[in-house]
Amino acid sequence: MIYEIRVYEAAEGRADAMRRRFRDHVVTQFFPRHSIELLGVFTAPVEDGRLTYMTRFADEDARKKAWASFAADPAWVAVKAASETDGPLLKNQTVSVLSPAVAGLPLG
């Protein structure tokens, strides 16, 4: 198994719209369709315009295939375009791919 942590930083004034799109479309429609297993979604205790989430994949090949199919999904392209008529929702994103450090060690 490999894990991925993504941190999305919203464009100025767009944090609510970014989170709505993630909640209403990405999590419910596109992650299941593209075999992206969502483990958790997080925000900071003090609003900072970021959304952080963690996913899990069987291996690196599965991760790459899942994200490639997600990005090429015509329905996603349409949702993204419709949600960005007033400009992009994301200012920046950071992606970290992680492997367990010690096999068999529980996560928490």
DSSP β-bridge partners for residue 54 = 5, 40
Q: What is the domain-level CATH number for residue 16?
A: 3.30.70.100
Residue 16 is assigned to a structural domain of this protein: yes
Range of the domain at 46: 2-98
Q: Please tell me the distance from the alpha carbon of residue 21 to that of residue 8, in angstroms, as a whole number.
A: 12
The whole-model pTM stands at 0.88
Q: Is 108 inside a domain boundary?
A: no
In the chain, the number of structural domains is: 1
3-state secondary structure (DSSP) of residue 13? coil
Angle between helices 74-83 and 60-72 (to 10 degrees): 60
Whether residue 103 is contained in a domain is answered as no
At residue 102, does pLDDT exceed 90? no
Calpha distance 10→88 (Å, rounded):
9
Question: Residue 107 domain-assigned?
Answer: no
Q: How confident is the model over 91-105, as a mean pLDDT?
A: 86
Q: Answer yes or no: is pLDDT of 105 > 80.
A: no
- C-alpha span between 57 and 94 (Å, rounded): 18
What mean pLDDT is reported for the chain?
Answer: 93
pLDDT given at position 47: 86
Mean pLDDT of 72-101: 95
pLDDT for the residue 60: 95
Residue 41 maps to a domain = yes
Confidence band for 78, pLDDT divided at 50, 70 and 90: very high
Tell me, what's the pLDDT at 100? 83
The 10s digit of each residue's pLDDT in 30-62 is 999 999 999 999 998 888 999 999 999 999 999
